[in-house]
Amino acid sequence: MSEEHQIDEHLPEEPEEGSYALEKRAVTAILYAVDVGDAEQLKELMEPLHAADIADLLEQLNTYDRRRLVELYDREFDGEILSELDEGIREEIISVLKPHVLAEAVREMDSDDVVDLVEDLDEPQQEAILEALEDADRVAVEQALTYPEYSAGRLMQREVVTAPEHWTVGDAIDFLRNAEELPDQFYHVILVDPRMHPIGNVTLGKLMSSRRTVPLKDIVEDVFQVIPVTQYEGDVAYAFNQYHLISAPVVDEADRLVGVITIDDAMAVLDEEHEEDILRLAGVSDEASLSDTILEAAKGRALWLFVNLLTAILASLVIDIFAETINQMVALAVLMPIVASMGGNAGTQTMTVTVRALATRDLTAQNAMRVVGREVSVGALNGVLFGLIMALVAGFWFGAPMLAAVIGVAMLLTQVSAAIGGIVIPMALDRFGIDPALASGPFVTTVTDVVGFSAFLGLAASVMM
């Protein structure tokens, strides 16, 4: 028995489908309540759910059920659910909500959440929401909207807790104990000089555990990063992840404190950036979500398919040059997709590693040449390996030693070109300020297809004909 127990302890719980997903039974009960129009029952069933889970539920329903649920839930619908919703669904729900329900929902929200909400909305919906806000909040939101989209200014909250640099622990504790109002969530007291330049962070834990006479200056955190208000949000997320920040002060052009960003917002940005990268690498426009309409989704993908069509036609033009050669030896037509497919895959591998290394700043001017060399070596190594395998396969299949030699060499050339294309193209795009995740794919495929087909058919034409 003790052995069994030990085995259990050493196996991680499988990432089951069920963990943190909404329980099917709960969803069924909720849909039933909506179906029969039982508002009381619906309210009771929704009560224990976190706003993020309610948002997920709404996203998973069809438009009809979603609308009915929102109407029945009515006044219970709060701002937090709105902030958690996907953009498309959010607009749809805002247009369904009664004006007074929407107004109340928005009034409950923190100003940085309202900013996040209104920045994606159409003009009329934006105005409706701004009008619902109290004057002070509206001004705060409007001010935040003057910062560039995707900048630290849009992410930050304006409520900060500061202390003059000469204060002691006792001063800070007395101040906090007597403060009329403190932000909902804060983790640091920010030390500022008389001109409001932030100079250090003191954690509340350190404050709690230090003697009253200790100067705050003596217990500031070792790691202190100040974020410029116009910094791109992706860089903010990178800084939080790289330096393990919990919160960081945001400063304007004169280095004066204007707000604070906390790690939960940075984590959400990191998540979005990853989503963008992964979808862009696959040639899906980054607005894509399961709640897009069919037409939106088709449009988002058609663009990249169209680019791919052009590169595919280019590759076909290469094949066309060798039409006569193929006519004389149909085995070439049978084998040529293998060369292209292997090249495309190797190119995608190298390209993905490169895009990822650029995003994490692991690939820099410092090590660029070495990494290119490494990738080419990897390509050559796998080129030799798969060149030999394919030479054997082709040799046995078609019983033509010359054909075997040709496909082997073509494979090697294609793998090396895939490595070069896969690393040089994203690096060049990055250098020119173009997102390598978005644009590398078609270029890399063009390289591998053109090299693959020309090498294979060209060698065949010159050696075998």
- In the region spanning residues 357 to 386, those forming contacts with its own copies, defined by CB under 8 A, are 357, 360-367, 370-371, 374, 377-378, 381-382, 385-386
Told to check if 29 binds its own copies by CB under 8 A, we report no
- Find the distance separating the first CA and the last CA of the chain, reported in whole Å: 73
Per CB under 8 A, does 278 bind its own copies? yes
Query: Contact between 255 and its own copies (CB under 8 A)?
Result: no
Q: Nearest Cα to 403, choosing from 392, 413, 414? A: 392
Tokens of 462: 């010159």
* Residue from 268, 372, 388, 405 in contact with its own copies (CB under 8 A): 268
- Distance between CA 312 and CA 318 in Å, rounded? 10
Which candidate, 342, 339, 165, places its Cα nearest to that of 257?
A: 165
Least Å distance, CB 195 to its own copies, is: 21
Binder to its own copies among 87, 232, 286, 405 (CB under 8 A)?
Answer: 232
| CB 116, CB 83: distance < 8 Å | yes
Among 37, 99, 164, 183, binds its own copies (CB under 8 A): 183
Task: Reduce the DSSP state of residue 279 to 3 states and report it.
Answer: helix
Nearer to its own copies, 128 or 237 (CB): 237
Residues between 54 and 113 that touch its own copies (CB under 8 A): 56, 59-62
Of 36, 139, 305, 392, the one binding its own copies (CB under 8 A) is 305
Q: Alpha-carbon torsion 449, 452, 453, 454, what sign?
A: positive
Q: Which of residues 137-176 bind its own copies (CB under 8 A)?
A: 146-151, 173, 176
Q: Which two tokens stand for residue 65?
A: 């059920």
What residues have CB less than 8 Å from 462, skipping those under 6 apart? none
Min dist. Cβ of residue 30 to its own copies (A)? 10
Look up residue 148 and give its DSSP letter.
P
Q: How far apart are CA 178 and CA 169, in angstroms?
A: 14
Among 333, 388, 400, 409, binds its own copies (CB under 8 A): 333
Contact 417, 350 (CB under 8 A): no
Taking the least distance from each CB to its own copies, the nearer of 106 and 371 is: 371
462 lies in the binding site for its own copies (CB under 8 A): no
Stretch that binds its own copies, among 52-60, 69-77, 126-134, 135-143 (CB under 8 A): 52-60
Q: Which of residues 312-331 bind its own copies (CB under 8 A)?
A: 312-313, 315-316, 319-320, 323, 326-327, 330-331
Rounded to whole angstroms, the Cα distance separating 430 from 437 reads 9
In the complex, least distance from residue 99 CB atom to its own copies, rounded to whole angstroms: 27
Contact with its own copies (CB under 8 A) among 115, 200, 277, 426: 277
Q: Which residue is it, tokens 């590759």?
A: 315
Whose Cβ is closer to its own copies: residue 132's or residue 350's?
Answer: 350
Q: Which is nearer to its own copies, 125 or 308 (CB)?
A: 308
> DSSP state, 423?
H
Residues that bind its own copies (rule: CB under 8 A) add up to a total of: 149
Shortest spacing between CB 162 and its own copies, in angstroms: 14
Could you tell me the smallest distance in angstroms from the CB atom of residue 424 to its own copies? 15
**Gap between the Cα atoms of 348 and 359, Å rounded:** 16
Q: Give me Rg for the CA atoms of the chain.
A: 29
Burial of 364 (0-12, 13-18, 19+ CB in 10 A): exposed
Pairwise CA distance, residues 256 & 265, whole Å: 21
Closest-CA residue to 247 (of 161, 119, 360):
161
Exactly one of 165, 349, 409, 439 binds its own copies (CB under 8 A); that residue is 349
Find the shortest distance in angstroms from Cβ 390 to its own copies.
7
Q: List the one residue from 3, 17, 40, 135 that touches its own copies (CB under 8 A).
A: 17
CB of 104 to its own copies, least distance (A): 18
Interface stretch with its own copies, choices 35-43, 135-143, 192-200, 232-240 (CB under 8 A) = 232-240
Residue 269 in the binding site for its own copies (CB under 8 A): no
The residue among 198 and 383 lying less far from its own copies, judged by its C-beta, is 383
In our burial notation (b when 16+ CB lie closer than 10 A, e otherwise), range 12-42 reads eeeeeeeeeeeeeeebeebbebbeeeeeebb
Using the rule CB under 8 A, is 395 a contact of its own copies?
Answer: no
In the complex with its own copies, the residue whose CB is nearer, 128 or 456, is: 456
**Which amino acid does the sequence have at 351?**
M
